[in-house]
A and B are shown apart, each in its own frame.
Chain A
Amino acid sequence: MTPGSFAVILVHLVVAVLVTPLLIGVMRTVRARLEGRVGAGVWQPWRDLIKLLAKEPTRAPGSTPVLTLAPIVLMASSLVLCALIPLVSTVALASVPGDLFVVVSVLLVGTVSLALLGLESGTAFGGMGSSRHMVIAAMVEPTVLLSVYALSVPAGTSDLAAIVQARVADPISLLNPVSLLAIFALVVVVIAETGRLPVDNPSTHLELTMVHEAMILESGGRDLGWLELGSWLRLTALLGLVANLAVPWGVAPDAAPLSLLVGVGAVFAKLVVLGAVLAAAEVFIAKLRLFRVPELLAGSFVLAFLSVSASYLVF
């Protein structure tokens, strides 16, 4: 591994971990302000996280090591995701390819560990949450693959960093219908994958409407802290991917300190703007009935499919 790619991985991880709770704080504050509330402030997720990580978890008697391991696996998979996705820089990582298929597989590792955690508790809600989560994942993962695949056709590679680089070099391609369709499909599945409205409500207390919350009901203290940070990091990684594919400027083309600094600033600005827009949009929409979620996701799959078909006609 070259020193350059090592530095890039380090920057990706540090930026992701530092920015993620702040991003969640900004999203919650935007939502609170639009609802006429004051909100807890943008630093509240940090306070919650520090407190949770200091607390000893209470685990149900008879629980298996899955309860302890699943949060760690989710956290680790999210960190790998943040290292692989070109958030700050498009420097190729020598030993691990930042390939589309690798990224989707790592995403699935986190998804499965969460589903197993839901089943582990043996409660009705945990199992229900897991089954819903897997239904959504089964429709989300192919769409992520297909939509990014459509963008990879003009670039001629499935390496995410190379795709972003190719899009910087050819800004006209950002506005062609193939790219717009693929980005739109990607936005829909990212919203579904990260458990935001209209697929899942992150602030719900009604067990029957929960997807993500239902799976983590039995985790507390440190375990919950890792679960929260792990799922927030997935949001950062996927939003960062969408942002850098849709607006690829500012991403560092090399590992020089100055361009990395510009890259950090650019990704921070893009994440905050995208997060604020997402949070504001959530005020205006209601959660979809669970049986209508497949229609939404199938719609986005069709868009991604059209985008792939069109990309062979255009390029």
Chain B
Amino acid sequence: MSTARLLRLITRTGRVAEPLEPPADGAFVVREGFDVPPALRGSAQVRHVDAGSCNGCEIEVGAAFGPVYDAERVGARLVASPRHADVVAVTGVVTQNMAEPLRNTVDATPNPRVLVSIGDCTRGCGLFAGSYAVAGSVDDVVQVDVHVPGCPPDPRAIVAALRAVTGR
């Protein structure tokens, strides 16, 4: 695409981000007795782990960080390494092969950290319950702090959960 055409596209498109709405009731569930660490106010880097998802939740996570729902404006950003992260976002059931990597990822994340589980599969395994390939739900493997229900969850709910962490 030529520079002039791209420039025209940019001016014609303008801002595609939707206005930030207050979270809907039940958009996310916080573990009892969990307080968001004050150090993470205003800024939270997110490491996303797919522990055995059908990729439905991945599309929604991608949308949450895309231009329309723009989770970056609440201070959350996807990063490439758990060592850079404050939030570990897990999607899907935990397969036999991903149980150990998931534990390692959480251990590699510096404290204070928050564990966010996204989607119904992370609580109760959903459609995949009882499969020979499944080690359990995310709750069985690591302690989850914030849960976003839905199959798949609305990107707005994911942004709302991250917003609860950053407080912006």
Contacts and interface: CB of A to CB of B under 8 A. Distances in A.
B59 interface: no
Interface in B77-123: 77-84, 86, 107-112
A129 B107 CA distance: 24
A40 interface: yes
A38 interface: yes
Interface of A: 32-41, 44, 47-48, 50-51, 54-58, 204-205, 207, 210, 213, 216-221, 224, 283-284
Contacts of A32: 72
A221 B39 CA distance: 12
Given A36-B17, A38-B73, A51 B80 contact: no
Contact of B42 (A51, A55, A204): A51
A224 B43 contact: no
Contacts of B86: 51, 55
Nearest to A51: B43
Contact of B6 (A38, A58, A284): A284
B83 A40 contact: no
Given A55-B110, A218-B81, A219-B83, A37 B39 contact: no
Interface of B: 3, 6, 10, 13-17, 39-40, 42-43, 45, 67, 70, 72-75, 77-84, 86, 107-112
B4 to A, nearest CB: 10
A58 B109 CA distance: 7
Given A32-B72, A38-B70, A284-B6, A55 B80 contact: no
Contact of A213 (B15, B70, B80): B80
Given A36-B10, A36-B67, 12 more contacts: A35-B67, A37-B15, A40-B74, A44-B75, A47-B75, A51-B43, A54-B39, A56-B110, A204-B80, A205-B79, A217-B81, A221-B83
A284 B9 CA distance: 12
Contact of B80 (A35, A39, A207, A221): A207
Contacts of A44: 43, 75
Contacts of A220: 81-84, 108-110
A128 to B, nearest CB: 14
Contacts of B112: 55
Nearest to A57: B110
B77 A40 contact: yes
B103 to A, nearest CB: 14
Contacts of B77: 40
B110 A205 contact: no
A224 B39 contact: no
A44 B45 CA distance: 12
Contacts of A224: 83-84
Closest CB pairs A-B (n = 7): A220-B83, A36-B16, A47-B43, A47-B42, A38-B73, A217-B81, A221-B110
Nearest to B76: A40
B110 A38 contact: no
A302 B26 CA distance: 62
26 contacts: A34-B10, A36-B10, A36-B13, A36-B14, A36-B17, A38-B15, A38-B17, A41-B73, A48-B45, A51-B39, A51-B40, A55-B39, A55-B110, A55-B112, A56-B110, A58-B83, A204-B80, A205-B78, A210-B80, A213-B80, A217-B81, A217-B84, A220-B81, A220-B84, A220-B110, A284-B6
Contacts of B14: 36
A124 B86 CA distance: 24
Contact of A40 (B10, B40, B72, B80): B72
A219 B85 CA distance: 10
A38 B13 CA distance: 13
Nearest to A214: B80
B108 A58 contact: yes
A51 B13 CA distance: 35
A37 B70 contact: yes
A124 to B, nearest CB: 14
Nearest to A55: B110
Nearest to B72: A40
